[in-house]
Amino acid sequence: MTGNDAPPHPRFPLLAAQQRMWAQGAAAPADPAHNCGAYVEIRGDLDPVLLERALHTALAGTEALRVRFGQDHSFPWQCVVPADEAPLPRHDLSGRTGPADAAAAWMAERLDEGSDPRSGPPYEHALLTLGERHHLLFLRHHRVVADTYSRHQYLRRVAEVYTALAAGSDVPGSRAGTLTQLVGEEMAYQHSGQAARDEAYWREVLAAPYPETGPAGRDGAAAVRPLRAAARLPDEVVAALLGTAREARTRWSAVLIAALAAHLGERAGTDDVVLGLMVAGRLTRAALNTPANLANELPLRLRTPAPARTAGPAGPAGRAGRAGRAGADDAFAALVGQVSERVGGALRHQRHRFGSPDAPAGHGHGYGGPGRTSVNILSFERGLRFGDCVTTLRTLAAGPADGLRLNVSGDPQAGRGLTLEFAAGPGVCTAGELAGRLEEFTESLRRYAAAPLRGTPAPVRGTPARSVSASPVTASPVPAPSVSAPAGAS
């Protein structure tokens, strides 16, 4: 990569999260695998002219989407360029047979089109019209410029500005800071006492090696491009998840993470499980209010119910299994409590970056390789208000996963349910295998969420993955297959 064609604007270093992604994508920065995308379904009397004005206003206050990148020798840099006030592209699909299918195909095509952050805008907007009062606002961006949290911040700002314009009110001032402010905060953190305390915490966490508990075994050639498999979690499972969380006096996400850890322990035959925990990486006011790429991945090491004690059919072995479970009452309850405690500790030390030269000793003992399984709870993705319109936010692509990642989106406490998505990095598995993994975990989550906390539900052994039923994702109004890859990939 070179920066000879970059605009003559002040240059500054990349943020820590950007540095890792830049290094990972140095060979092919315009690869479509780096695309992130989403759309807002908008039903109501939307004014496209006001929407365009809202986008221009939000973009002017969002430096993360107005950057260009370059590299001098081995040092990458970025610079902020003026906002582009180009017209919002509009595509009227209302006359098509099946406008929703046409919109899905159009967005898939755009997500399969790469963008080079060194030479052009690392984002794209478009407004797709499916009917008289039915629209989709599409956003695509390169993963190096913004994480999922930032994308939601940006779209929330667009909605805020639009709502003010539609009401004839003054547009509220932006709360966002600048990228140089965030770079300065990171540099100050690196030389702070908090950074030393964070490093000491993670050295202790990673002191001992641990086994892989990621995807293993394939029934065919692995895909060479990222794959995704998504399903809407059945309402009764969501209700059970919320009920168990209330009983345990914790968040529903802690119960879900505990169920994932127990599921992985069952599959791997171990009671020592490490998950990657995706976090926002934001602890300061400026970081919380400023769209940028700050997300981090932390190791979450958990002691799960021992498979030998929680399994067993009827008969002598089954009696032993029941006796083992009787001796391990409250095992899942203990795991839920353990998750709550260790997530809390991880979040207090979430600014430490792994994979950097100063990463703590012990990093790499089973964590950080292609076999890693990580979980990303997108609980901040709540509804957006565009005037009086009814809206729904849908994530289409979250960039490549290094191993196997479970993305969980929705707001069950607001009655909007949950969607589970497994994303697999290149070479991890086949499409059919990924669908099977999603089905297996959906069934495990059903059992764990519905089980009384006084004991641990018995795992289902020997059940073919594809015999488990998971509701296909509907992603209304745009239909989506249960397993998908970027357009043109297999």
pLDDT value at position 225? 62
pLDDT value at position 210? 60
Asked if the domains 16-180 and 211-381+398-484 are classified in one and the same CATH topology, the answer is yes
Average pLDDT of each block of 10 consecutive residues along the chain (490 residues)? 54 92 79 90 97 97 93 89 92 96 96 87 96 97 93 96 98 95 95 96 82 51 68 94 93 96 90 91 94 93 69 41 46 92 94 64 41 82 86 84 85 85 84 93 92 52 29 32 32
Its CATH class, for the domain covering 211-381+398-484, is: alpha beta
pLDDT value at position 381? 65
Are 298 and 338 a contacting pair, CB within 8 Å?
A: no
pLDDT value at position 221? 54
Residue 164: CB atoms within 10 A of its CB come to 17
User: How many Å apart are CA 47 and CA 158, to the nearest integer?
Assistant: 13
Reading the block at residue 15, the tokens are 């943020």
pLDDT value at position 470? 30
pLDDT value at position 106? 97
Beta strands in 284-398 (DSSP E): 296-303, 373-378, 390-398
pLDDT value at position 74? 79
pLDDT value at position 213? 55
Examine residue 477 and say whether the peptide bond preceding it is cis (omega within 30 degrees of 0).
yes
User: How many Å apart are CA 121 and CA 83, to the nearest integer?
Assistant: 10
Are 304 and 335 a contacting pair, CB within 8 Å?
A: yes
Reading the block at residue 387, the tokens are 């005037």
pLDDT value at position 249? 92
* Residues in the chain, total: 490
- Using only C-alpha atoms, the chain has a radius of gyration, in whole angstroms, of 23
| pTM of this structure | 0.81
CATH number of 16-180: 3.30.559.10
Residue 207 class from Cβ within 10 Å (0-12 exposed, 13-18 middle, 19+ buried)? exposed
User: How many Å apart are CA 109 and CA 113, to the nearest integer?
Assistant: 7
- Domain ranges in the chain are 16-180, 211-381+398-484
pLDDT value at position 305? 81
pLDDT value at position 425? 77
